[in-house]
Amino acid sequence: MTKGDRTRIIPRRTPESAAMVAEVKRAMAITARINHLTYDDAAEVRALFSELIGQTVDDSFFLIPPFYATGGGNTRVGHHVFVNQNCTFYDLGGLDIGDDVMIGPNVSLITSGHPVEPSQRRAGVTASPIVIENNVWIAAGVTIIGGVTIGENAVIAAGSVVTRDVPPNTLAGGNPARVIRSIGAA
């Protein structure tokens, strides 16, 4: 399901897993503060999101609460990024969001999971990056799993589940998402 060369495993009961749990607690405290804000509190949302990811986001960044995250330190966000309400970002594997990206409501970007083998499932957490290149539109209700790159100018249709790379300048949709057609470059 993910690309093995980009997947790492974090075993339970290790310093790395303890750091992961601490990051989840930190992120949940910050997102709880974000979720007390409204549409009109854009500057405060930007400040708290900047605290979450550990770097200042551009004034063009706009996020509508509620928002959920289990981390933040592995997230990079470009300029002119819009995140609609009720989105979930799990960034353990790394989450790279380019410039001019629009993310619809109820989108989940999930870079972590568990081993598939039953005997290994509780032994640790897997983590694989998600890369969303410039000028991508992710429509409502999309789920993107770790190990995936969404190419520049691509559109992901509402309700899709993205389990593999999407080429630039394409419309992809379905479960699992597949390229539907090419679209014109911006």
At 36, list the tokens.
Answer: 């007390």
What distance in Å separates the CA atoms of residue 31 and residue 13, rounded to the nearest whole number?
26
Q: Catalytic residue numbers?
A: 114
| 8 Å CB contact between 148 and 134 | no
The residues, ordered by sequence, that sit 6+ positions from 21 with a Cβ below 8 Å of its Cβ are: none
| 8 Å CB contact between 133 and 150 | yes
Find tokens 């799993």 and name the residue: 145
Q: Please return the burial class of 79, using the count of CB atoms within 10 Å of its CB with bins 0-12, 13-18 and 19+.
A: middle
